[in-house]
């Protein structure tokens, strides 16, 4: 017997510019520290590939460095050289061949450059440790103020160096296009370079990049505008923001709404709403970490700015994600650790939400085998249940 299929909001397609997302589930960037001088390795092919096969509409790379000295960790992915293009293209090609979109998160880690992987403690690397790794490195920021006592004091960037960082993002976007990426996401969160410029605590400059809110937002708007100018018109541009940075007297939602309006005005399409990360103080953030704790940020930006948003943060259950989309709180939901736990989360969610759908959302090379087994499983389960009674 075929059950009647129910329709879900989570699995309705969404078109942004010239790209159609087959559903509303994306895979959030997650640092893997598995690169080799910025190059894609077999780890990345398998890591991202399993999410593609799992049914997500868009898979975003981890924080991908626009400059060799701007990495989060020594073994981050990079996009500072044309030589990185073939590896990234391999990821995009696999996604396209299997029904998904692929995106790259462009990042400059600024004063939080070079930290250990989480499984090695996740702490800031000491200067002597980075020297021993024999990689180019600098910690830079808007002002000579360290991210916390764990971090060395960064160099305050000159206006000329800021202009060069804008160009590094532009060059990276060109490479992303050459690699066949569908989406560029600008990383403006988690205390990295742009986030530190936004914060009145980290940014104490007295030039055009400091002081007023307009000045502190200047680098964010300049990067977005310059990237949009070279990023193809048909491809979406995302920006991830720490909507509240978690620090007392720091960046908050009112400022986020203003920045989202500016980013929309220069061609930004989606605001990816995260939080925290400015300093060690934000580990004790006053944002309670409940299920979907950052969804209210996404909802407010979407409502007040009339821009598409992506919700992220402890979204773990299909019905939870469905309700976020159905109630207009976001246009996309990003899952990270839930996908690490089960790469097939999107496909299983579709089956759960759209009863009777069977294995339509699964890749044919997997779904066909599961579909063939299904009648047998139903019969055996019915017999088991009957005997239990």
239-259 residue pLDDT tens: 999 999 988 889 999 999 999
CA 126 vs CA 121, 132, 140, 341: distances in Å: 13, 10, 15, 32
Radius of gyration over every alpha carbon of the chain, rounded to an integer in angstroms:
22
pLDDT mean over 266-279: 94
Q: Give 380's pLDDT tier (boundaries 50, 70, 90).
A: very high
**CB of 131 closer than 8 Å to CB of 138:** no
DSSP code per residue over 234-298: TS-EEEEEESS--STTS--HHHHHHHHHHHHHTT--EEEEE---SSGGGGG-SS---TTTTHHHH
Cα(first)–Cα(last) distance of the chain, in Å? 23
Pull the structure tokens for residue 107.
């990042």
pLDDT mean over 139-144: 98
2 vs 301 pLDDT, higher one: 301
Instruction: Give yes or no for residue 357 having a pLDDT over 90.
Output: no
**CB of 24 closer than 8 Å to CB of 320:** no
**CB of 270 closer than 8 Å to CB of 255:** no
Instruction: Give yes or no for residue 287 having a pLDDT over 80.
Output: no
Q: Which is nearest to 48 in space by CA: 282, 317, 340?
A: 340
What angle separates helix 85-97 from helix 42-53, to the nearest 10 degrees?
A: 20
pLDDT at 196: 97
Q: Give 282's pLDDT tier (boundaries 50, 70, 90).
A: very low
Question: Which H or E run contains 367?
Answer: helix 364-388
Instruction: Give yes or no for residue 356 having a pLDDT over 90.
Output: no
pLDDT at 154: 97
Percentage with pLDDT > 70 across the chain: 97
SS3 letters across 246-260: CCCCCCCHHHHHHHH
281 vs 177 pLDDT, higher one: 177
Instruction: Give yes or no for residue 284 having a pLDDT over 70.
Output: no
pLDDT mean over 216-231: 98
Q: Give 355's pLDDT tier (boundaries 50, 70, 90).
A: confident
Give the span between the Cα atoms of 112 and 347, in whole angstroms. Answer: 36
Q: What are phi and psi of 58, to 5 degrees?
A: -135, 135
* Average pLDDT over the chain, rounded to an integer: 94
pLDDT at 305: 98
State pLDDT tens for residues 87-134: 999 999 999 999 999 999 999 999 999 999 999 999 999 999 999 989
Give the span between the Cα atoms of 83 and 117, in whole angstroms. Answer: 25
Give the span between the Cα atoms of 118 and 340, in whole angstroms. Answer: 15
Instruction: Give yes or no for residue 220 having a pLDDT over 60.
Output: yes
Q: Give 301's pLDDT tier (boundaries 50, 70, 90).
A: very high
User: Residues in the chain, how many?
Assistant: 389
Q: What are phi and psi of 300, to 5 degrees?
A: -65, -45
**CB of 192 closer than 8 Å to CB of 109:** yes
pLDDT at 388: 83
Pull the structure tokens for residue 323.
């309700």
For 178-202, give one letter per residue: b (16+ CB within 10 A) or e.
ebbbbbbbbbbbbbbbbbbbbbbbb
pLDDT mean over 280-289: 59
pLDDT at 280: 59
**CB of 54 closer than 8 Å to CB of 371:** no
Q: Give 279's pLDDT tier (boundaries 50, 70, 90).
A: confident
Annotated catalytic residue within 48, 188, 192, 209: 192
Active site residue 192: yes
Q: Give 389's pLDDT tier (boundaries 50, 70, 90).
A: confident
pLDDT at 1: 42
């Amino acid at each position: 017997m075929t059950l009647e299929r129910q329709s879900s909001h989570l699995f309705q397609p969404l078109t942004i510019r010239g790209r159609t997302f087959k559903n509303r589930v994306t895979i959030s960037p997650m640092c893997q520290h598995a690169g080799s001088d910025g190059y894609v390795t077999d780890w990345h092919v398998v890591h991202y590939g399993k999410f593609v096969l799992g049914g997500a509409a868009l898979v975003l790379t981890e924080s991908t460095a626009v400059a060799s000295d701007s990495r989060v960790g020594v073994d981050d992915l990079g996009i500072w050289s044309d030589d990185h293009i073939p590896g990234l293209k391999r990821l995009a090609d696999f996604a396209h061949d299997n029904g998904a979109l692929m995106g790259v998160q462009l990042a400059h880690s600024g004063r939080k450059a070079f930290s250990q992987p989480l499984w090695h403690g996740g702490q800031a690397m000491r200067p002597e440790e980075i020297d021993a790794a024999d990689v180019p490195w600098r910690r830079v920021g808007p002002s000579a103020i360290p991210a916390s006592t764990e971090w060395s004091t960064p160099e305050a960037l000159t206006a000329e160096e800021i202009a060069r960082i804008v160009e590094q993002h532009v060059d990276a976007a060109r490479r992303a296009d050459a690699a066949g990426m569908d989406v560029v996401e600008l990383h403006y969160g988690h205390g990295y370079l742009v986030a530190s410029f936004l914060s009145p605590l980290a940014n104490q400059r007295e030039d055009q990049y400091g002081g007023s809110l307009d000045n502190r937002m200047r680098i964010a708007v300049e990067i977005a505008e310059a990237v949009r100018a070279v990023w193809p018109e048909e491809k979406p541009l995302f920006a991830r923001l720490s909507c509240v940075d978690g620090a007392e007297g720091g960046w908050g939602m009112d400022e986020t709404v203003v920045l989202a309006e500016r980013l929309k005005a220069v061609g930004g399409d989606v605001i990816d709403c995260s939080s925290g990360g400015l300093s060690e103080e934000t580990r004790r953030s006053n944002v309670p970490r409940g299920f979907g704790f950052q969804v209210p940020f996404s909802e407010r930006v979407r409502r007040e700015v009339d821009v598409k948003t992506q919700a992220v943060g402890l979204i773990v259950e299909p019905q939870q994600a469905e309700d976020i989309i159905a109630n207009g709180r976001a246009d996309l939901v990003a899952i990270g650790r839930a996908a690490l736990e089960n790469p097939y989360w999107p496909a299983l969610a579709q089956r759960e939400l759209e009863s009777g759908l069977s294995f339509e959302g699964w890749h044919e090379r997997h779904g066909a085998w599961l579909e063939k087994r299904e009648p047998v499983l139903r019969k055996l389960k019915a017999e088991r249940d009957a005997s239990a009674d």
